[in-house]
Structure 1
Amino acid sequence: MYKMELVSDIFHVVSDVFVTRKDEVKLVEKVVKEIRTQIDVREMAGSNIVRLAGISGALAVSMAAYGAHAFNSPENDDEVRLRNVFESGNKMHLFHSAALMAVPLTRHPKLIGSAMFTGMVIFSGTCYYQAITKDSRIRFFTPYGGMLLIVSWLLMIL
């Protein structure tokens, strides 16, 4: 908030001292608007959504490393299928962790970020769980996570 007040003060000083015509006032207003935009982008860069994306990305890479060692030599078709399930969850996890970094640039970052993160946790989490434990009881939640991911992308057009 302090930065916005500072920008307003600068605007008023510049307009009082240097601006005498309407065209020049519009030019100064345009410059101030651009400064405000730059300040907002810098503040978004430190947002909680971007931090969450960083943590999620680190976790996705860690899970990829785990999967590379845990599923490196499948012995039967069931283990091949579990490796494919794990890799599918991991790809979506890593991809959406990167996409999450752009969410603060949207018009509705809290809504989109919540939908994307929840979808990522449900989709990838159920894939990881099934692949690691060989228990498919919660696998029926996976499509709901996928739908949330699709919805989060569609919400970006609003």
Structure 2
Amino acid sequence: MAVNRNLAAFAAINGATAVALGAFAAHGAGPQIKTLLTTGAQYQLAHALLAVACALWPGYPRLVHIAGWLASAGGLIFSLSLALLGLLSLPALGMVTPIGGVLMIVAWLLLVLAALRTTSSDA
């Protein structure tokens, strides 16, 4: 089975970061920041898992490759922008968060296309 090791490693780093942010939200963050950190950590962890699934996808077609990186990058951008927004009180970072969200949505849509393709060489 071919594995995209770089994507799997990046996804694993995202997963670890998500757990750390979630733990900080649960044990060290003030009430105003807690919601932002928790939301960011949940989305980042879900998309880290998606990226791992993409890294392990049989045949590793091009659409899946792109989807994995978009999911991983989108989750990181979304989560970190929310964390920095809350921790540094920089409202301008609120404009960055939707970029991560769009990347995550596109990743899922690319997986739809990849799943509907009949052969891995078509994707």
TM range (shorter): 0.7 to 0.9
Match of 1:147, SS state, is: helix
| 1:69 partnered with 2:27 | yes
The RMSD of aligned alpha carbons is: 1.7
Asked if structure 2 preserves the Cα contact closer than 8 Å seen for 1:107 and 1:156, the reply is no
Work out which of the two has the higher radius of gyration on C-alpha atoms and give 1 or 2.
1
- Which residue, 90, 93, 106 being the options, matches 1:135? 90
Corresponding residue number in structure 1 for 2:36: 85
Per the TM alignment, residue 138 of structure 1 is displaced from its structure 2 partner at its CA by 1.3
- Distance between the aligned counterparts of 1:91 and 1:111, measured in 2? 22
| 1:59 partnered with 2:13 | no
Per the TM alignment, residue 134 of structure 1 is displaced from its structure 2 partner at its CA by 2.0
- Distance between the aligned counterparts of 1:54 and 1:98, measured in 2? 8
For 1:107, the aligned partner's letter is P
- Which residue, 98, 102, 107 being the options, matches 2:53? 102
- Residue-pair matches, total: 109
Per the TM alignment, residue 141 of structure 1 is displaced from its structure 2 partner at its CA by 1.4
| Higher-RCO chain (CA-CA 8 Å, sequence separation at least 6) | 2
- Distance between the aligned counterparts of 1:52 and 1:118, measured in 2? 9
Identity of aligned residues (%): 28
Q: TM-score, normalised by structure 1?
A: 0.62
| 1:116 partnered with 2:116 | no
Q: TM-score, normalised by structure 2?
A: 0.78
Asked if structure 2 preserves the Cα contact closer than 8 Å seen for 1:57 and 1:98, the reply is yes
